[in-house]
Amino acid sequence: MIHININKALHGVNGGMSLDIDLDIKQGEFIALTGASGSGKTTLLRILAGLEEAEGEIEVNNLFWLKNRKSLKPQKRSIGFMHQENSLFLNMSILQNLLFVQKDLDLALRLLSLTGLTELKDKYPKTLSGGQKQRVSLCRSMMRKPDILLLDEPLSALDAKMRTQLQLEILALHKEFNTTTIMVSHDPSEIYKLSTRTLVLENGRIIKDGKTKEVLLKSQGSQKFSFEGELLELKEVDVVIIAIVAIGQQIVEIVVSKKEAENLKVGQRVILGTKAFAPTILRPSQ
């Protein structure tokens, strides 16, 4: 069980704000942490890792990492931390990079095998691809069999195929070691595939905390297929109105009745919705 109740004054993009987190996490949970940049996600991970100071308490499996301004040193905390940029030692082989963290050859070989790196163990980081380097970083962050694995957008620099592969490996390691994992991510498909619980941060506070599917699924009433967009135009055609709406990089058209259009104004934010039964799925034409 992990209990976090911390407070820290931050200087965000919109001026001063306070990171104010009160959170209980069960052993073995995979938590996704999402929210706009500057909302405090990375700061929260750094506070957990002991790299930044904060007021309050952090208790991990009956051990206080932070209490009454007494803070356990980063190296005493059972934490694995993986970032977007790896920080491997260039003058050490892959295996040496792992053993530097913890002299446990069995574990190092097991991790390398789980991530398909066994054959590369004697190579040096500069000869590896971006995806392979991130795999090594992942293995290295698991070398201390951490109570908590912190992942700060670990895959955002990789291409889609490599991401999918690494996602599977992260999940495999999470399950194998029954680690509690907290991952910062902006990618809904990644969050859906990996996490069971999602927290949304806004201005230093948790504004949503729930099962991942419930947090991610944008629904309007009983309509499960829902998007927010900007109403660009209302075109009167025959006895109906065609509403043109911009959603992300795309423009879509929706037919509404005149009565329905009475409450609409061009320029408004609108939510388009339909039941999960109506949309069709096709593969894009090549």
- Shortest separation between residue 221's beta carbon and another protein, angstroms: 4
SS3 272: strand
SS3 86: coil
Q: Name 10's Cβ contacts closer than 8 Å, sequence gap at least 6.
A: 16, 17, 18, 19, 40, 43, 204
**Nearest CB to another protein, comparing residues 96 and 223:** 223
Q: Number of residues interacting with another protein: please give it, by CB under 8 A.
A: 20
**Nearest CB to another protein, comparing residues 222 and 285:** 222
Pairing of strands 180-184, 15-25: unpaired
- Shortest separation between residue 278's beta carbon and another protein, angstroms: 8
- Shortest separation between residue 117's beta carbon and another protein, angstroms: 40
Which amino acid is residue 164, in one-letter code? T
Q: Could you tell me how many residues make up the chain?
A: 286
CA distances from 122 to 27, 91, 94, 104, 196 (A): 35, 12, 6, 16, 36
**Nearest CB to another protein, comparing residues 80 and 273:** 273
**Nearest CB to another protein, comparing residues 76 and 258:** 258
Q: Which of residues 211-270 bind another protein (CB under 8 A)?
A: 219-224, 238-240, 255-260
Alpha helices in 72-187 (DSSP H): 94-101, 105-114, 130-142, 160-176
Binding-site string for another protein from residue 173 to residue 212, where x marks contact by CB under 8 A and - marks none: ----------------------------------------
Among positions 172, 252, 264, 276, the unique one binding another protein when judged by CB under 8 A: 276
- Shortest separation between residue 281's beta carbon and another protein, angstroms: 15
Residue 73 and residue 50 in contact, taking contact as beta carbons nearer than 8 Å: yes
- Shortest separation between residue 258's beta carbon and another protein, angstroms: 7
Neighbours of 29 (CB within 10 A): 16
How many Å apart are CA 124 and CA 105, to the nearest integer? 18
- Shortest separation between residue 224's beta carbon and another protein, angstroms: 6
**Nearest CB to another protein, comparing residues 124 and 225:** 225
Residue 54 and residue 47 in contact, taking contact as beta carbons nearer than 8 Å: yes
- Shortest separation between residue 217's beta carbon and another protein, angstroms: 9
**Nearest CB to another protein, comparing residues 203 and 223:** 223
**Nearest CB to another protein, comparing residues 22 and 260:** 260
- Please compute, for residue 9, the number of CA atoms within 13 A of its CA located in the half-sphere on the CB side: 2
Told to check if 279 binds another protein by CB under 8 A, we report: no
Interacting residues toward another protein by CB under 8 A: 219-224, 238-240, 255-260, 273, 275-278
